[in-house]
Amino acid sequence: MSSLSISPQVSTHLIEQWSQVRDFSAQVCHLQAPMGTGSKHVLNHFQRQVAGECLTWHVRLRDNLYGWEILPVLTNGLWKTIRHSANMVAMVRKSLELDLGDERLNAILKTMSESLQHSHETENAQLKLPSDNPILGLILLARALMREMPLLIIIENVQYCHSYIPLVFLLASLQDAQKTRTMVVLHSTVLNDDSVSSFPIPAQVLLNTLKGTSVGLAPWNQEETAAFFEARDLKDVSTIDWLAWTEGRQELLAEMMVWQAEDPLAESAIASRQLVFAPTEDAQRTEQCLRVGALLGWRFSIAHVASILGLEIQSVSDLLSQQPHLIEIEDERASFKYVLHQLRLMDDTMRQLPQVAASVADNIYATFGRTRPEMLHQAAKMYSRLERHAEAQEALTLFQDLDVDVLYLAMLEVMIRWGIQFDTVVMEPLWRRASRHQFTQNGDVALAFQQRALEWAAENNAPHLAIELYRQGGRFYAKQNEILEAENQFQQGINVANQEGFTFLQVDTRIDMLEFYVQNAELRRASQQLLLLDGQELSEVQRIRLLGVHARVAQAENDYQKAARLFVEARKVAASVYKWGLATDLGLLAIEALLDTGAVDQVESMLELIQEEAQKHDRLPMFETLRQRYQLHKEDSSSDS
């Protein structure tokens, strides 16, 4: 199925845009298409058509990019185009022979050029970015290429873009590029009122900021689907039935052809518009496993399904293996043979059993998303469909939080260098995370940086940022045991919160100060803060933090039994709001307190209770340390008796 048969109009539009690029008029195009409508075929077809005229920088974003990982994906978007050609490498290196009038920038260009040559000459090597600011290196490379040659930049799957790096990269690269032979194509699923909460904020900002033409692929209607059948000589096929399964999505129609040809159960399933499950002794459990699996994705963990349904892993594996026409199993993972079936079953479950979908989304958000962050995208989709929009964005924010702080400092430098201004939605996280990096890694410049960030916050009416900066300063001084300075920073944050009427942040900052006092055995000052917090309305997380503080005070007073009770109480609150990782941490703290009392019998039962949790939430090192302490206590007790 050629891309032109999918959408000649879109292909024509892209070619028309490119014709303007030939005349030194840079273009930006948004290609938005529902999943399965053939957009990747269209992009690949367009890319092949113009490949002889330009250098292509093709980036495919995935749902599991976080931390540093987006940088090699951005870099390889270009490297995979040129790495096998000595002539291409030489041409790109030639474009880097510039004098930018800045010693540091010239050094970065030289480093990039040398890396290109080394990477080309070394088997399986990757292009290296400058260590002092890798994003700046990418931008200088792109800007140099735009000066010398036609450049096509494709960013595919923008809906997975939880980082601001692509936005900063493109904005800085395209500055002053209006009269270059450059074209940027941003590809994503459809961003509209129904889907907006399942799009990460950085993806929304990228699509809304880079102005250009917009073109969309739509599923086929009944006439177009009938033409598809006719062209492939498909007789006795109900267009209406096939549309009910695929909604006219072109790639799903192609997949349906394969399903119909290979699966004897396909005909009855298509006609009844329901998946046919092979009979098993426990049909209800089988259907539950399939539905939960479909909600987790096209490929899913058998252990995750077992955990959600409260079943043994082997039991789930056995049930799924009895559906070979639907499911393929490899090791501890299963996948649907056809994406069509996963999407159909997910959609049906979302509509018919929303409570099941809600439970699966909650499990991902609270549990699985900790070790498999890419699953948070799936949770966000479900929350969005369930109209739990705030939770959809919270899930995606958790994903964004995994980014490395130093990259925010790198982005901020780029934006300041090129005078790129944004509202607080973008700039606040950049200043906040860059400041956190300075406080944790570069203490000698941290306070000067904080002052600059506070000035920006004042100029741009960003009190939330100011409060966070003061809290960072308080924690910084607290680690240095500089009590007066830490107090001053925390108090400044409280003052701003009070001025703005931010009760929640005022309480949060007071708890910061309280934790600092307890850690430094300043129990008199801690008591004063507790009095100020008395009667304040607390969130569940603040209640947990406060219970933890009370437990620490009890430990400081050698009342370990009381400390253990308080940790257990905090653990219950954490579990009630699905903070499973936090609940595990509190359980481990309770065990530690019980060991300090010598209550070996109580420790044994808690260790058994928490072992699986510790493994699931990546807490095994702490768990093993406590178990070894327990064994020593037990041996000592035995020798005494």
Angle between helices 339-352 and 354-363 (to 10 degrees): 110
* DSSP string across 534-602: TT----HHHHHHHHHHHHHHHHHTT-HHHHHHHHHHHHHHHHHTT-HHHHHHHHHHHHHHHHHHT-HHH
Cβ atoms of 181 and 54 closer than 8 Å: yes
Joined together, the tokens standing for residue 191 give 């961003």
Cβ-based neighbour number of residue 489 at 10 Å: 26
Cβ-based neighbour number of residue 166 at 10 Å: 22
* Ranges of residues in the chain whose predicted pLDDT is under 70: 1-6, 236, 637-641
Cβ atoms of 154 and 57 closer than 8 Å: yes
CA 121, 410, 393, 620 dihedral sign is positive
Helix (H, G, I), strand (E, B) or coil at 155: strand
d(CA 343, CA 85): 41
pTM: 0.88
CA 173, 177, 182, 183 dihedral sign is positive
Residue with tokens 């002889």: 52
User: Which residues lie across from 334 on neighbouring strands?
Assistant: 300, 329
State the DSSP H helix or E strand holding residue 270, giving kind and residue range, or none if neither: helix 266-272
Strands, sheet with 333-336, edge to edge from the N-terminal-most edge strand:
299-301, 333-336, 327-330
Joined together, the tokens standing for residue 281 give 């002794």
Q: What is the pLDDT of residues 254-310, one digit of tens each?
A: 999 999 889 888 888 888 888 989 888 899 999 999 999 999 999 999 999 999 999
d(CA 507, CA 533): 7
Strands 182-188 and 55-60: unpaired
Joined together, the tokens standing for residue 391 give 């939770």
Question: Which distant-in-sequence residues (6+ apart) come within 8 Å of 96 by Cβ?
Answer: 109, 110, 112, 113, 116, 141, 144
Helix (H, G, I), strand (E, B) or coil at 182: strand
For residues 125-152, one letter each, b for 16 or more C-beta atoms within 10 angstroms of the residue's C-beta and e for the rest, the string is eebbbbeebbbbbbbbbbbbbbebbbbb
- Looking at residue 2, its pLDDT comes to 35
Joined together, the tokens standing for residue 83 give 């790495």
Angle between helices 222-231 and 239-246 (to 10 degrees): 110
Alpha-carbon 528 to chain mean position = 41
Strands, sheet with 27-32, edge to edge from the N-terminal-most edge strand:
55-60, 151-156, 182-188, 27-32, 213-216
Residue with tokens 């349904």: 309
- Looking at residue 600, its pLDDT comes to 77
Joined together, the tokens standing for residue 287 give 């259907």
Cβ atoms of 134 and 411 closer than 8 Å: no
Cβ atoms of 489 and 456 closer than 8 Å: no
Q: Does domain 423-537 have CATH number 1.25.40.10?
A: yes
Record: fold of 3-216: Rossmann fold (3.40.50)
Domain spans of the chain, in order of start: 3-216, 222-272, 423-537, 560-575+582-641
Alpha-carbon 151 to chain mean position = 29
Cα dist from 38 to 215, 246, 247, 585, whole Å: 14, 13, 13, 46
For residues 16-37, one letter each, b for 16 or more C-beta atoms within 10 angstroms of the residue's C-beta and e for the rest, the string is ebbeebeeeebbbbbbbbbebb
Please give the angle made by the CA atoms of 163, 169 and 174, to the nearest 5 degrees: 140
Q: Where are the alpha helices (DSSP H) in 418-559?
A: 424-441, 443-459, 463-479, 483-500, 503-519, 523-533, 540-556
